[in-house]
Amino acid sequence: DEVRTAARQVFDDLNAATASGEFATKVQKLCDWCDYQRWCPAHGGDPSVAHAESSVAVNIRRKAVGLAPLA
**CA 18, chain centre distance (Å):** 10
Contact 34, 40 (CB under 8 A): yes
pLDDT band at 8 (very low <50, low <70, confident <90, very high): very high
Q: CA 4, 9, 12, 14: dihedral to nearest 10 degrees?
A: -110
Output the average pLDDT for the chain. Answer: 86
Q: Rounded to an integer, what distance in angstroms lies between the CA atom of residue 29 and that of residue 36?
A: 14
Domain ranges within the chain, ordered by starting residue:
2-64
Q: What is residue 28's predicted lDDT score, i.e. its pLDDT?
A: 93
Q: Rounded to an integer, what distance in angstroms lies between the CA atom of residue 6 and that of residue 15?
A: 14
pTM listed for this prediction: 0.45
Kindly report, residue by residue over 13-41, the tens digit of the pLDDT: 888 888 887 767 889 999 999 888 888 88
Average pLDDT for 49-63: 80
pLDDT tops 90 at residue 57: no
Q: Rounded to an integer, what distance in angstroms lies between the CA atom of residue 2 and that of residue 5?
A: 5
